[in-house]
Every structure is written in structure tokens, then in C-alpha cells.
Amino acid sequence: MTGSADVTVVIPTHRRNEYLVDAIASVVAQELSPAALVVSDDVGDLSTRSLVEDWAARAPFPVRYLDSSGPGAGTAGASRNAGAELATTGILAFLDDDDSWQPAFLRATTEALSTASADFAVAWTSADAEGYHIQRIGPGLSATQVVARNPGFVGSNFVMRTAAFRALGGFDPDLPVSNDKDFLVRALQASLHYAVVERVLVLNRIHGAGQLTDKSHRRAEGIQRYMTKHAVLLSDWDRRYLRAQLASVLRVAAPSLVARWRYTGELAALRLGLAMRGGER
């Protein structure tokens, strides 16, 4: 490491110690060391506490374990918010427990934040699974342009000024999915300015250990809640796109075979309509 930054890093975690080790290690390996790391554990797992305390004894900056379980816990947004409350630094950064940063992440994003006089800075992300594509965010997007299709903004690839984060109210703790996209929509609605680091500096791990992309009733409910929350921003194309996401989940998660076949047919029709309309919004 060649210096330190006025940054608190928050890692929300939920029973994924095997991945959490790599996430913490990638923070410790940063070229620009953070001022502090908070691991926010929404189940209060004793083995997770032990793992974090072991890192606290070795890391060159303060590492704190936070038991964020209890009423209101259970979403990544709630865990991130709980960790962010402890920050005394001018900048916040978030890293999901199953992702990791390249060593240059904090240096590049904080430099972009300062150079552009921005409220937040976003780097590009890649997946560790072949054929899995993650969008790469570009500059100058508006809330209506990102409300349906996430442009490449995730809970691990941005830093933000703490004052801006708190003025925005943090993440929506009631959204079990799409909380990162919802956060970006609200930031753009609030006229916050962002900078883009056009480099892949974040690795998104694709696995089967309970990801938010799993096709479950919880994910379906989350998509419906998100659509209701942002209904006034949605164009007809946006609604079709999100309904296709919902049908894709329910064709697997619906309780009966008849319902699953119905959603399979609906998904095919929606995808055909979207393909015929191309990128129209």
C-alpha cells in the first residue's frame, strides 16, 4: 500500500464466510488503504465474528465487526445502511461479501471522485463465470434511462461522499432485490453527479449460495415492489422489460405446473415484443 484515503468500506454479509475471506483480503490489498472497514453481519453469526476479529488483528487499518441482526434486518440495503452509520470519514465504499476488488479500485475511484468534483464514482465490473455479461456504465445517464435496465451499477463498484449518501437516505432497506438500481435511480433523481472509471476493477462472483439473482418468490416480490415504487418513471418498454424479468422468475418459482407454463408463455411473448421494438423506450 502506498497511502491511505478518507474512506470507510462497508461489507454486508450473510453466512458466506468462504467468500467473505476473499472480499476482506481484496480490501487489505488495496494500493490506497481505507481508513476503516466495517463488516455488517445481518445474522450475528459467531463464526463470522471470529473471522472478522482475526482480520482485525492483522489488517493495517481498523476492522470492525457489526452485528446488524434484529428487527429490520434481512436485506443487503439494511446491512449496508447499518455499517454506513458507523462511518466518520468523508467517503463511503461498499463491497458485497461474494465480490472482490482489484488493488487499484479505491485509488482510481477516489481520484475520479476528486477530479470530477462528483458525488459518486463508479468503476466497471466483470463476472467470474464465462458467458455472464455485466453492463458497463457510461457517463451522463438519467433516472428514466436506468429505471428498468441496470446500466452496470452494483453494490460493489462505487464510492460516494458520505454527506451525499446520508442526504439520499441510504439504500432502501425494504427492497430485497434491485436495491442497487433503486439507489442509482434516486441518486440521479436528486441530481447527484457521477464520474466513471472506465476500467474493470471489480470481480462479481457467480455462485449457487443464495444470490439475489436466484429465481425465488422473494425475488418475484422484490421486482413487483420495485415496479410499484417507480411506476411513474416507467415507459411502456420499461414495464415490458420488468414484466419479462418477473415472468422469468415465476416460470420457475410459481407454485403449480400450470402457472409455470403460463409464465413461460408470457415470458416468450414479452421477449418477442421487446425484440421487435429493439432499444425503444
* Whether 147 contacts 154, CB under 8 Å: no
Question: Mean of the pLDDT values across residues 247-255?
Answer: 85
Give yes or no for residue 1 having a pLDDT over 50. no
Lowest-pLDDT range, 10-19, 56-65, 84-93, 127-136? 127-136
Distance from the Cα of residue 23 to its chain's centroid: 14
Measure the CA–CA gap between 182 and 147, rounded to whole angstroms: 7
List, for residues 193-211, the tens digit of each pLDDT value.
999 999 999 999 987 655 4
Question: Mean of the pLDDT values across residues 216-239?
Answer: 92
Task: Give pLDDT, residue 211.
Answer: 47
Q: Which residue has the higher pLDDT, 250 or 202?
A: 202
Q: Which residue has the higher pLDDT, 71 or 108?
A: 108
Question: Mean of the pLDDT values across residues 81-106?
Answer: 97
Q: What percent of the chain has pLDDT over 90?
A: 74
At 92, is the pLDDT very low, low, confident or very high (cuts 50, 70, 90)?
Answer: very high
Question: Mean of the pLDDT values across residues 228-244?
Answer: 94
Question: Mean of the pLDDT values across residues 72-81?
Answer: 93
Give yes or no for residue 104 having a pLDDT over 90. yes
Give yes or no for residue 253 having a pLDDT over 70. yes
3-state SS, one letter per residue, for the chain: CCCECCEEEEEEECCCHHHHHHHHHHHHCCCCECCEEEEEECCCCHHHHHHHHHHHCCCCCCEEEEECCCCCCCCHHHHHHHHHCCCCCCEEEECCCCEEECCCHHHHHHHHHHHCCCCEEEEEEEECCCCCCCCCCCCCCCHHHHCCCCCCCCCCCEEEEHHHHHHHCCCCCCCCCCHHHHHHHHHHHCCCCEEEEEEEEEEECCCCCCCCCCCCHHHHHHHHHHHHHCHHHCCHHHHHHHHHHHHHHHHHHCCCHHHHHHHHHHHHHHHHHHHHHCCCC
List, for residues 154-175, the tens digit of each pLDDT value.
999 999 999 999 999 999 999 9
Give yes or no for residue 268 having a pLDDT over 80. yes
Task: Give pLDDT, residue 25.
Answer: 98
AA identity, residue 15: R
Task: Give pLDDT, residue 212.
Answer: 45
- Provide the sign of the torsion angle of the four alpha carbons 41, 203, 177, 106, taken in this order: positive
Question: Mean of the pLDDT values across residues 208-225?
Answer: 73
At 259, is the pLDDT very low, low, confident or very high (cuts 50, 70, 90)?
Answer: confident
Q: What percent of the chain has pLDDT over 70?
A: 95
Question: Mean of the pLDDT values across residues 49-61?
Answer: 96
At 213, is the pLDDT very low, low, confident or very high (cuts 50, 70, 90)?
Answer: very low
Task: Give pLDDT, residue 274.
Answer: 80
Enter the pTM of the model.
0.90
Task: Give pLDDT, residue 280.
Answer: 56
Task: Give pLDDT, residue 2.
Answer: 59
Structural domains of the chain, ranges and CATH numbers in brackets: 7-204 (3.90.550.10), 217-277 (no CATH)
